[in-house]
Structure 1
Amino acid sequence: MSIIKESSHKYNLQNVEKANLYKDIFPYSEVPKVTFNHVQVPMDLPENIWITDTTFRDGQQSMPPYTAEQIIKIFDYLHQLDNNSGVIKQTEFFLYTEKDRKAAQVCMERGYQFPEVTSWIRANKEDFKLVREIGIKETGMLMSCSDYHIFKKLNKTRQQTMDMYLSVVEEALSHGIRPRCHLEDITRADFYGFVVPLVNKLMELSKEANVPIKVRVCDTLGLGVPYTGAALPRSVQGLIHGLRNACGVPSELIEWHGHNDFYSVVSNSTTAWLYGASSINTSLLGIGERTGNCPLEAMLIEYAQLKGTTKNMKMEVITELAEYFQRAMNYNVPERTPFVGSQFNVTRAGIHADGILKDEEIYNIFDTDKILGRPVVVAVNEYSGLAGVAAWINMYYRLKDNEKVDKHDPRVAIIKEWVDEQYADGVRTTIIGNNELELLVEELLPEITEKRQVIAS
């Protein structure tokens, strides 16, 4: 006997009189709760996945505003990093100031295919005029979808809110502009009572106009969780699966936008990819509201791990970008930040240095020199020992194969004794500077510094 399965279910807007704030999950006076319904949804990594950027929007609103020149420079860097691979597909701009509009215009005139210039507006017709005036082809629109926002911020009913959002989408479509709907605070929203009915209406408009309407899934407070069996509204798996199956949104029209309030921004973003979203929204260095957005550089590495390739991206530009932020904007990159911090591939422990001395693959995550232009570094301190000193010499001077200095070289022992003396009285607590070690190497191992000068010349 065959079983007839229901192919679709009609989800009607639940225009409730009282806000559903999920106080059992978000009691406010306590840490939020993670609830489980033990429903497992299938993993569904799309064939094509990519990254979008919000450095000039969410990133810019959380630090001193960038100058037009800085925006254009960073945009050029993003293009160089992507290198026409299409992995960094888009970036979004504010349009509220003359400076931002000028920068967006210059970036559009660059004529790059990637990243495409898009914009961000509030879901009202006055903001929409800015998009029409500058000629951008796609714009994001803020669509707050939790009752926290609908009842408390907008002071509207769910029906009034949905009608307002749909009218702005219709306005965009009437002018041939692709809408991108930012479902703000979705991890506290009534998914089947508001989000699904809204998105179903958006998909109807998309079909009628034959224009793709994107859905950005905004984890505004970083409340999403990646766990299998977690319940809505916090389940990243459930949100993406629900949009794909209850609303029929194609993977290529789903974009995840996360924040890092609970240290989960990268795992949540990767989970969104794994369960059906093609696009992950990021910002350079993770700069964004409060604890920040998902770091673009982190998701490039996640992309490489999931897809087994970096395509033709120039990954070393990640290092150049981090240096530019520090140099041009006095932005302090925390030194232990993965991939971009000054200490991310620095080892101090003697036993680790001994392993690196034998083969740097033992204690380095990958060839950071080849991929990021950041050779592994051994810092010398009181715990380095002979192996640490020898490893520093070999790494610092980039000695290869038979050029490498062995830790049993008596000259290494002399340097190590000097290092020990620096810490003997307990006064010094800092690492030995490269300039200090350079002087010792120049004196004790002149053939190394002489060869370096020949190569440099």
Structure 2
Amino acid sequence: MENRRVTMNRHTNLLQLEEHMYPLVDVKTPNVFRNLFPYSEIPKIAFNDRVVPHHMPDDIWITDTTFRDGQQSRAPYTTDQIVRIYDYLHKLGGPEGRIRASEFFLYSKKDRDAVEKCMERGYEFPEVTSWIRANKKDFQLVRDMGMRETGILVSCSDYHIFYKMKMTRKQAMEHYLSIVKECLEIGVSVRCHLEDITRADIYGYVIPFCLELMKLRQHYGIPVKVRCCDTMGYGVNYPGAVIPRSVPGIIYGIMIHAGVPSELIEWHGHNDFYKAVSNSTTAWLYGACGVNTSLFGIGERTGNTPLEAMVFEYAQLRGNLGGMDTTVITELAEYYEKEIGYHIPERTPFVGKNFNVTRAGIHADGLLKNEEIYNVFDTEKFLNRSAEVAVSNTSGAAGIAHWIDTHYRLKGDKKVDKNSELVTMIKAWVDSQYEDGRVTVLSDKELEAVIAETCERLGITLK
């Protein structure tokens, strides 16, 4: 105790006692935290009430894995689609580069063609980075393509080290460090993907490993990033929860005890337990500068943290959009639906067809009087999407006119009047539906069909 130094913490401006060093604990048998993860039962969330402080970095950002993790769960994108989406990400991220980087596979010619075309765009952000297999041939490919950073897999739980890799912790660490050194030798920055970190021994393996990574960073003078991968979605954001499930505990340990700067820490979450967004936000709050996402959450199993969700998390935490153009989110959703053929579930926040559609009659009445009552924010301003009211027996002529105006995006003098012949005829049809015993709201397709037929009879068009 007496030999430990007292230093000033420049973030809190408080004196603190230098922490103990954390050597590798090279166990003979794997620690799979069976008390927390009893496979034949539901995983446990345990607490010890050890609370760590908030440590929000001065600058936070989003990174993207749409073309890497996102492509592992769907049909591969074409080269043209990748380049088009990359253009959208650049526009969405804005001049401050809130979407800092995007990662790509390099395995196939199609992947490499897409990388080259994206790099030819000359955008500073998102930076084009790669994800490769850990071998010299792939390292050389990264350098030959002029990329400054690559990700490599460094699985860190005993589940992976003992059961998948058939190694001890010491063997795994030595193997990983040799790979990192090879990459740094050719001048390429390494992003270490600590797979399955929420089932790993944080103080017995993860922190000792990160301490070694920081030594390599200092020796070579090249950034070495740490990506905390919640591969199975086990992370929780609750204060006082025990590690390895505690997101605050993981970020605090890596930052404070392993000495990894916030700008080199990134969170990569999965949504197996519906916590991807809250865990990513928590990582920001406790010291990670980066959160890794994919568009619409497309990814392995239940998916990744949705990129669009973190855009609005950023705005809520910072009080501004950091230069991001959120209307691009709607453009991306339309591109996926119309050009790629990917169906976005209707109730998906911010991008689903029905995310700002009010269906309950009493809610619709409130929305028509003042949309702030039932709309999360000005969706017309931020997403180019007006709040809509679904049509039912309680909608009335005003509700039908509102539906037509918003659904067909009619503005100014193009809007339909609630007393028009078109609205009167549609209302008569709607009333007849419910007089025959219908109890559900009318679908968009039903309304589109009857409006098209009525417009044809009246000789008018909605433009």
Q: Do the structures match in fold with TM over 0.5?
A: yes
Q: Are 1:355 and 2:366 matched, yes or no?
A: yes
Q: Are 1:212 and 2:226 matched, yes or no?
A: no
Task: Give the structure 2 partner of residue 65 of structure 1.
Answer: 76
- Give the Å deviation of 1:395: 3.6
Q: Which runs of 5+ in 2 are unaligned?
A: 7-15
Q: Are 1:275 and 2:286 matched, yes or no?
A: yes
Which of 334, 339, 363 pairs up with 1:323? 334
Which of 436, 450, 453 pairs up with 1:436? 450
Task: Decide whether the 8 Å contact of 1:54 with 1:283 is kept in 2.
Answer: yes
Deviations 1:19-68 (A, max 9, x none): 00111110111111001110111111111000000011000111111111
Q: Which runs of 5+ in 1 are unaligned?
A: none
Which of 252, 256, 265 pairs up with 2:267? 256
Normalized against structure 1, the TM-score is what? 0.91
- Give the Å deviation of 1:130: 2.6
Task: Give the structure 1 partner of residue 402 of structure 2.
Answer: 391
Task: Decide whether the 8 Å contact of 1:356 with 1:391 is kept in 2.
Answer: no
- Give the Å deviation of 1:216: 0.3
Task: Decide whether the 8 Å contact of 2:152 with 2:193 is kept in 1.
Answer: yes
Task: Decide whether the 8 Å contact of 1:39 with 1:230 is kept in 2.
Answer: yes
Alpha-carbon separation, structure 2, partners of 1:51 and 1:258: 12
- Give the Å deviation of 1:137: 0.5
Q: Name the SS for the 1:433 alignment partner.
A: helix
Alpha-carbon separation, structure 2, partners of 1:169 and 1:16: 23
Instruction: Pick which of 127-136 and 360-369 moved more.
Output: 127-136
Task: Give the structure 1 partner of residue 157 of structure 2.
Answer: 146
Alpha-carbon separation, structure 2, partners of 1:276 and 1:122: 29
Task: Give the structure 1 partner of residue 313 of structure 2.
Answer: 302
Task: Give the structure 1 partner of residue 47 of structure 2.
Answer: 36
Alpha-carbon separation, structure 1, partners of 2:228 and 2:59: 18
- Give the Å deviation of 1:382: 3.1
Task: Decide whether the 8 Å contact of 2:102 with 2:127 is kept in 1.
Answer: yes
- Give the Å deviation of 1:394: 5.2
**1:332-371, aligned counterparts within 5 Å?**
332-371=343-382
Task: Give the structure 2 partner of residue 311 of structure 1.
Answer: 322
Alpha-carbon separation, structure 2, partners of 1:212 and 1:203: 9
Task: Give the structure 1 partner of residue 110 of structure 2.
Answer: 99
Alpha-carbon separation, structure 1, partners of 2:397 and 2:334: 32
Change (3 A) 1:410 1:258: same
Amino acid at match of 1:182: H
Q: Name the SS for the 2:240 alignment partner.
A: coil
- Give the Å deviation of 1:127: 3.1
Task: Give the structure 1 partner of residue 92 of structure 2.
Answer: 81
- Give the Å deviation of 1:139: 0.4
Task: Give the structure 2 partner of residue 51 of structure 1.
Answer: 62
Task: Decide whether the 8 Å contact of 1:131 with 1:139 is kept in 2.
Answer: yes
Change (3 A) 1:347 1:276: same
Task: Give the structure 2 partner of residue 122 of structure 1.
Answer: 133
Change (3 A) 1:259 1:167: same
- Give the Å deviation of 1:260: 0.4
Task: Decide whether the 8 Å contact of 1:393 with 1:405 is kept in 2.
Answer: no
Alpha-carbon separation, structure 2, partners of 1:383 and 1:357: 12
- Give the Å deviation of 1:412: 6.5
Change (3 A) 1:211 1:232: same
Instruction: Pick which of 155-164 and 130-139 moved more.
Output: 130-139
Q: Name the SS for the 2:68 alignment partner.
A: helix
**1:420-435, aligned counterparts within 5 Å?**
420-426=431-437, 430-431=442-443, 432-435=446-449
- Give the Å deviation of 1:427: 6.1
Q: Name the SS for the 2:151 alignment partner.
A: strand
Task: Decide whether the 8 Å contact of 1:182 with 1:216 is kept in 2.
Answer: yes
Which of 376, 379, 392 pairs up with 1:381? 392
Task: Give the structure 2 partner of residue 198 of structure 1.
Answer: 209
Task: Decide whether the 8 Å contact of 1:283 with 1:294 is kept in 2.
Answer: yes
Aligned residues: 446
Task: Give the structure 2 partner of residue 182 of structure 1.
Answer: 193
Q: Name the SS for the 2:267 alignment partner.
A: strand
**1:159-170, aligned counterparts within 5 Å?**
159-170=170-181
- Give the Å deviation of 1:126: 4.0
| Identity between Structure 1 and Structure 2 (%) | 58
Deviations 1:406-428 (A, max 9, x none): 79x99967754431211322368
**1:108-119, aligned counterparts within 5 Å?**
108-119=119-130
Amino acid at match of 2:19: S
Alpha-carbon separation, structure 1, partners of 2:396 and 2:36: 52
Give the root-mean-square deviation of aligned CA atoms: 2.6
Normalized against structure 2, the TM-score is what? 0.90
Q: Name the SS for the 1:55 alignment partner.
A: coil
- Give the Å deviation of 1:71: 1.0
